């Protein structure tokens, strides 16, 4: 248990006592007002605060806004319910018990909803506490899966427009310790040669957002990137050096967060995959972070994990075979390769830790190779879905 668990338990006890004192009938209005106000605040927050801004102030203001609207709902409901309170008589005991149960249930649901959204926020200390909360983990087990999907718009106001949620909201993030990366890796001829096969991926998504990411050549006229980079984009472009190519999506996997585009006339050498990478191995992250110039960062593999979380849209629950790496991973690195000292691809970058700035994640080559082989032969244009 952590400090947040103590706060939550205290809050539950307070609301249970208040429900006992005021009774079920009165609490239906006060608790119902709280819950309706909370849900209204969650629904309205995306209209007033920029989704995907990644700004901590915007995230804090969104949370405060929800609390204010919930408080107004609670106060209004309390005023209505006060006149209906059962103060005495044979039904008072039952009314008190039901009131305590209802009050506790309401605040549990509200706490879970806020925790679900905050777990992916740009407030690392708070999000870490939420992920490690034993109480919220227990409440999460009682909630229907689709409840979390309904909170996606509000969640977007608390997160940066960087990477999709990569971990279940109440799952503790495991970050294995490892030695710092070795910058000498970047000087290797094999690593420097891989640069020529790394590309910039750009596009206009259907939600009027400009997307940016990286990719790399996997076969003749074929570029691999992340699915969340292409989500909602009908006509992506690929830039190699100073030349821009039109691209066409031929593979789109929102579960593994991998996609492949066909780029006719592409003049670049395919990179090879390597499946033998292990914990502690040196590596390099190649790409175009923040839509800037080409960037190479030394990295080291922290460990290999079976990472469980939602797909790129925040729905369902998928399992990914990934490497946790020690390196700086930024927006725009998405879809870029994790390169071994041999200049071969050992993973595809798809996320950065929200709690540790020196940790990123890459889908392993073992997970990626089957898609690369199938996509190399794919010819039909596929849908890239909606914006992620």
Per-residue pLDDT averaged across 132-137, rounded? Answer: 90
Question: Which strands, in side-by-side order, build the sheet including 237-240?
Answer: 243-246, 237-240, 198-204, 210-219, 222-225, 258-262, 248-253
pLDDT band at 169; cut points 50, 70, 90: confident
- Residue 250 domain boundaries: 164-388
**102 SS3 class:** helix
pLDDT of residue 238: 95
Q: Based on the domain organization, do 56 and 187 belong to the same domain?
A: no
- CA-to-CA separations, 374 to 198, 224, 227, 292, 361, in angstroms, rounded: 20, 12, 16, 31, 23
* Amino acid 18: pLDDT: 83
Burial of 303 (0-12, 13-18, 19+ CB in 10 A): middle
Same domain? 42 vs 124: yes
Q: pLDDT value at position 87?
A: 64
pLDDT tops 90 at residue 192: yes
Quick one: residue 385, left, alpha or beta (phi over 0 = left, psi -120 to 50 = alpha)?
left
Contacts of 31 (CB under 8 A, 6+ apart): 15, 19, 74, 77, 102, 103, 106, 107
Rg (CA), the chain: 24
Look at residues 158, 188, 206 and tell me which one is the last residue of a structural domain.
158
Out of 61-70, 101-110, 135-144, 332-341, give the one with best mean pLDDT.
332-341
Q: Tell me if residue 154 falls in helix, strand or coil.
A: helix
Q: How many CA atoms lie within 13 A of 46 on its CB side?
A: 15
Tell me, yes or no, whether 150 and 271 share the same domain.
Answer: no
- Report the mean per-residue pLDDT for the chain: 87
132 in the same domain as 27: yes
Same domain for 333 and 192:
yes
Rounded CA gap, 363 and 351, in Å? 9
| CATH number of the domain to which 377 belongs | 2.40.10.120
CA angle 371/373/374 to nearest 5° reads: 65
Q: Which of 257, 262, 295, 311 is catalytic?
A: 257
Between 18 and 237, the more confident residue is 237
pLDDT tens for each residue of 345-386 = 999 999 999 888 899 999 999 999 999 999 999 999 999 998
Helix (H) or strand (E) holding 147: helix 145-149
pLDDT number for residue 151 = 67
| 257 a catalytic residue | yes
Instruction: Give me the mean pLDDT over the 238-263 stretch.
Output: 95
190 and 136 together in one domain? no
Q: How many CB atoms sit inside 10 A of residue 84's CB?
A: 12
Instruction: Give the mean model confidence (pLDDT) for residues 76-101.
Output: 76
Single residue among 158, 174, 202 that ends a domain in this structure: 158
Q: Is the same domain home to 101 and 118?
A: yes
CB–CB of 387/206 below 8 Å? yes
Query: Is residue 172 domain-shared with residue 39, that is, in the same domain?
Result: no
pLDDT at 227: 96
Q: Are 279 and 227 a contacting pair, CB within 8 Å?
A: no
Average pLDDT (310-328) is: 92
C-alpha to C-alpha distances, 233 to 52, 211, 215, 385, nearest whole angstrom:
17, 8, 15, 8
| pTM listed for this prediction | 0.79
158, 175, 193 - which closes a domain: 158
Structure confidence by residue, pLDDT tens digits, 26-73 = 878 887 888 888 788 877 777 776 555 455 666 677 778 888 888 888
How many distinct structural domains can be found in the chain? 2
Q: Is the pLDDT score of 150 beyond 80?
A: no
Judge if 133 and 182 occupy the same domain. no
Highest mean predicted confidence (pLDDT) among 158-162, 319-323, 384-388: 319-323
Alpha carbon distance 217, 193 (integer Å): 13
Which residue of the set 228, 262, 298, 311 is catalytic? 228
- Res 332: pLDDT: 92
One domain for residues 33 and 129: yes
Read off the pLDDT band of 86 (50, 70, 90). Answer: low
Reference 239, options 208, 192, 198; nearest CA is 198
For residues 137 and 193, membership in a common domain is answered with no
95 annotated active-site: no
83 given a catalytic annotation: no
Whether residues 143 and 184 fall in one domain: no
């Amino acid at each position: 248990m952590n400090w947040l668990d103590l706060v939550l338990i205290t809050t539950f006890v307070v609301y249970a006592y208040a429900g006992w004192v005021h009774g079920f009938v009165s609490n239906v209005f006060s608790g119902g007002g709280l819950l309706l106000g909370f849900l209204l605040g969650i629904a309205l927050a995306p209209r007033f605060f920029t989704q995907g801004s990644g700004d901590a102030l915007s995230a804090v203001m969104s949370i405060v806004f929800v609390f204010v609207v919930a408080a107004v709902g609670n106060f209004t409901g309390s005023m209505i319910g006060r006149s209906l309170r059962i103060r005495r008589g044979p039904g008072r005991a039952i009314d008190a018990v039901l009131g305590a149960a209802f009050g506790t249930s309401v605040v549990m649901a509200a706490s879970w909803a806020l925790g679900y959204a905050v777990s992916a926020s740009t407030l690392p200390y708070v999000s870490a506490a939420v992920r490690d909360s034993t109480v919220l983990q227990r409440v999460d087990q009682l909630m229907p899966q689709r409840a979390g999907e309904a909170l996606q718009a509000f969640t977007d106001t608390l997160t940066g427009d960087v990477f999709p949620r990569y971990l279940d909201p109440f799952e503790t993030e495991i970050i294995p310790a490892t030695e710092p990366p070795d910058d000498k890796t970047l000087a290797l001829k094999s690593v420097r040669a891989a640069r020529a096969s790394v590309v910039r991926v750009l596009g206009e998504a259907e939600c009027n957002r400009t997307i940016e990411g990286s990719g790399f050549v996997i076969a003749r006229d074929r570029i691999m990137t992340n699915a969340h980079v292409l989500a909602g984009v009908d006509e992506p472009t690929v830039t190699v050096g100073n030349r821009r190519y039109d691209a066409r999506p031929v593979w789109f996997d929102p579960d593994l967060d991998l996609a492949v585009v066909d780029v006719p006339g592409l003049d670049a050498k395919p990179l090879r995959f390597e499946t033998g990478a292990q914990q502690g191995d040196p590596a390099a992250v190649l790409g175009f972070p923040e839509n800037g110039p080409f960037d190479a960062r030394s990295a080291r593999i922290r460990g290999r994990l079976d990472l469980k979380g939602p797909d790129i849209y925040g729905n369902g629950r998928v399992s990914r075979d990934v490497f946790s790496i020690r390196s700086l991973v930024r927006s725009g690195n998405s879809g870029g390769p994790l390169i071994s000292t041999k200049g071969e691809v050992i993973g595809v970058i798809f996320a950065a830790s929200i709690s540790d700035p020196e940790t990123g994640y890459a889908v392993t080559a073992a997970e990626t190779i089957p898609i690369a082989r199938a996509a190399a032969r794919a010819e039909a244009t596929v849908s890239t879905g909606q914006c992620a």
